[in-house]
């Protein structure tokens, strides 16, 4: 007897799936039998992950677009098979040209022009993609929407106020959507992350004493004494996307190695 998660016959759109958590989730979805629409701002990254899935015997199609561009989102969704599962994973500070740091320093020293990029991808990108896929889900009477947020938004982090606000907004948006479409057989949930090593911090620590000290200090904040991996997150998302998560909605699941244990 085995415990299986089966996404056969389902089409899942995963944003920001060209690397990291999105890539791991795309691979997990494909392994569970889904047809994966691999989104990334960079067409090369989207194509590479889709090729990796197909080479392993799965079904995938690259689906490059900028989540902050509503017209581009609608065009991509309208041109794709009916989407049964949406994973809003694209985040950080937006496209590579705009940088990837989520820290802007002390909020009292920032200006409104610095806030926009965080809201564009982490909140409005989530709203754009959700709006584009919901009509099909409502018509089908079934669907899953999973949004990746951050502990910065769930419990707060200093020097990350705009990013935290955008992520908190996305979580609130998911709760509202859950109430709005629950009767249509659609669930909407969030996965809230602590620090996930998507850029090879362990390797950097091996090559730099400064990075080794920084990583050791960061690990001490986690009960597990390690940072997360993309695979740690992908399993939770895949469960929520499946029929086994059908009675879970409007929730935010901390996946954080014990970073916050009583919150």
pLDDT at res. 119: 97
Neighbouring residues of 135: CB distance < 8 A, sequence distance ≥ 6: none
Position 219 scores a pLDDT of 87
The whole-angstrom separation of Cα 230 and Cα 171 is 20
In the block, tokens 């989520």 appear at 102
- For the stretch 186-237, pLDDT in tens is 999 999 999 898 877 777 767 787 777 888 888 888 888 988 899 999 999 9
For the chain, domain boundaries: 11-197+229-255
Whether the CB-CB separation of 93 and 100 falls below 8 Å is answered with yes
For the entire predicted model, the pTM comes to 0.94
Would you state the structure tokens that stand for residue 26, as one six-digit string?
């795309």
- Bigger pLDDT: 92 or 150? 150
Instruction: Inform me whether the pLDDT recorded for 97 exceeds 70.
Output: no
Which comes out higher in pLDDT, residue 213 or 176? 176
11-197+229-255 placed in CATH 2.40.10.500: no
Q: Are 140 and 186 in contact (CB under 8 A)?
A: no
pLDDT confidence tier of residue 40, bands split at 50, 70 and 90? very high
Token duo for residue 210? 């400064």
Q: Please choose, from the candidates 23, 24, 22, 28, the residue with its C-alpha nearest in 3D space to the C-alpha of residue 10.
A: 28
Q: Which residue has the higher pLDDT, 248 or 224?
A: 248
Q: Is the pLDDT of residue 11 over 90?
A: yes
d(CA 118, CA 95): 10
Measure Cα distances from 241 to 161, 192, 230 in Å.
30, 15, 16
Mean pLDDT calculated for residue range 11-27? 97
Percentage of the chain lying above the pLDDT 70 cut: 96
Kindly report which listed range (11-15, 114-118, 174-178, 197-201) carries the lowest average pLDDT score. 197-201
Catalytic residues: 163
- SS3 of the chain: the string is CCCCCCCCCCEEEECCCCCHHHHHHHHHHHHCCCEEEECCCCHHHHHHHHHHHHHCCCEEEECCCCCCCHHHHHHHHHCCCCCCEEEECCCCCCCHHHCCCCCCCCHHHCCHHHCHHHHHHHCHHHHHHHHHHHHHHHHHCCEEEEEEEEHHHHCCCCCCHHHHHHHHHHHHHHHHHHHHHHHHCEEEEEEEECCECCCCHHHHHHHCHHHHHHHHHHHCCCCCCCCECHHHHHHHHHHHHCHHHCCCCCCEEEECCCCCCCC
State the chain's mean pLDDT as an integer: 93
pLDDT value at residue 263:
56
């Amino acid at each position: 007897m085995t415990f299986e998660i089966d996404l056969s016959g389902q089409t899942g759109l995963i944003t920001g799936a060209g690397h990291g958590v999105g890539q791991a989730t795309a691979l997990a979805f494909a392994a569970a039998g889904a047809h994966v629409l691999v989104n990334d701002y960079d067409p090369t990254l989207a194509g590479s992950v889709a090729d990796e899935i197909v080479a392993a015997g799965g079904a995938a199609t690259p689906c490059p677009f900028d989540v902050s561009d509503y017209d581009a989102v609608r065009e991509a969704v309208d041109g794709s098979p009916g989407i049964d599962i949406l994973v809003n994973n694209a985040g950080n500070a937006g496209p590579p040209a705009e940088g990837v740091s989520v820290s802007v320093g002390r909020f009292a020293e920032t200006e409104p022009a610095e806030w926009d990029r965080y809201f564009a991808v982490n909140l409005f990108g989530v709203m754009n993609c959700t709006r584009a896929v919901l009509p099909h889900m409502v018509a089908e009477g079934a669907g899953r929407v999973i949004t990746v947020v951050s502990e910065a938004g769930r419990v707060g982090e200093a020097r990350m106020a705009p990013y935290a606000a955008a992520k908190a907004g996305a979580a609130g948006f998911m709760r509202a959507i859950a109430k709005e479409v629950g009767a249509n057989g659609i669930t909407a949930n969030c996965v809230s992350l602590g620090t996930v090593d998507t850029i090879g911090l362990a390797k950097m620590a091996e090559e730099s004493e400064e990075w080794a000290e920084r990583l050791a200090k960061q690990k001490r904040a986690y009960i597990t004494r390690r940072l997360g991996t993309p695979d740690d997150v992908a399993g939770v998302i895949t469960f929520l996307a499946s029929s086994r998560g059908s009675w879970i909605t409007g929730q935010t699941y901390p996946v954080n190695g014990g970073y916050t244990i009583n919150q």
